[in-house]
Amino acid sequence: MNIEKHLSNLKESIDVINECIQRGNLVERQRTIGFHTSVACVDLLEVYLHKENLIDPGMQLKHDWFASKNKIESKLPFEFQNKDQILNIMHMIETKRNILCYGAPQEKETIIEIITLFQKLRKIMKSMGVDNDYEYE
């Protein structure tokens, strides 16, 4: 997938997450938030890795890789800026993804934690040159 498509997908996910936040229905939309934070994290990282030519243009990252620290280290063994911090955040989000998407309703605080982690990742990636300043309109 090319960078423009990742950015388009990223914008869609951020719009959906922001809409959930704006409407204040986090618990009712936990599944949507789980899916979109997970996939948006992958899009953010892929944009960066493609821009820096650290992965082949045809390579696609899979969200489920980030549930296992060993798996992601084997898939991305090379170094890049803020690697440990980025992968740690993505791991924390991914370990909650299936609970949010398929499990019982979670406490609002759990959902806010995932959104906060995602916002932290967005800031890190922005500092690394990945434009992701999409706001709900």
pLDDT per position in the chain (137 positions), as tens? 688 889 999 999 999 999 999 998 899 999 999 999 999 999 999 999 999 999 998 889 999 999 999 999 999 999 999 999 999 999 999 999 999 999 999 999 999 999 999 999 999 999 999 987 765 43
With a CB cutoff of 8 Å and minimum separation 6, the contacts of 68 are: none
Measured CA distances, 39 to 8, 12, 79 (Å)? 12, 11, 22
* Residue carrying the six token digits 């995602």: 118
Number of Cβ atoms within 10 Å of the Cβ of 90: 25
Q: Are the C-beta atoms of residues 114 and 34 closer than 8 Å to each other?
A: yes
pTM of the full structure = 0.92
